Amino acid sequence: MCVASGCSGDAYQHCTAAGDPHTRAHVAYDSAAFQSKVDQTLHPRVKSSQELVTSNNQLPEIRAKLTVYGTTAEDDIAQKPGFDIAGGTGLKIVFEANGLPYSKVEVETGPFKGRLGWLSRASIDDPRTTMP
């Protein structure tokens, strides 16, 4: 269910890129490689239960294997192929999930109208999280 201020009757959450028109937010292309990273984040796999039964010396290595991609995602999104949008650009959130620091968005206004990509949640001005 959408917040009334964020919906336009199409069941998608509508929002804007955070910041003013002079601010830029990087949108990563919706590539197969990026989608694979998202899938790994949402569905982490452990090679075997033996990885979990090990000495404390191996604990950092196991944690690294179980670390979700999204924990470092905001740091490297700027390095992913994509395009930059201005603050205030209209967006439609087409996919989001708990634990994922990105949302898949469709650009609704500006020169990239109609393009799909992944945008850091920190770069989204979402009316569901804005205090009145």
Helix (H, G, I), strand (E, B) or coil at 96: coil
Dihedral of alpha carbons 111, 117, 119, 121, sign: positive
Cβ atoms of residues 22 and 86 within 8 Å: yes
Percent of the chain with pLDDT over 90: 42
Query: Is the pLDDT confidence value at 114 over 70?
Result: yes
pLDDT of residue 53: 55
Residue 113: band (very low, low, confident or very high) from pLDDT cuts 50, 70, 90: very high
The pLDDT of 71-93, averaged and rounded, is 82
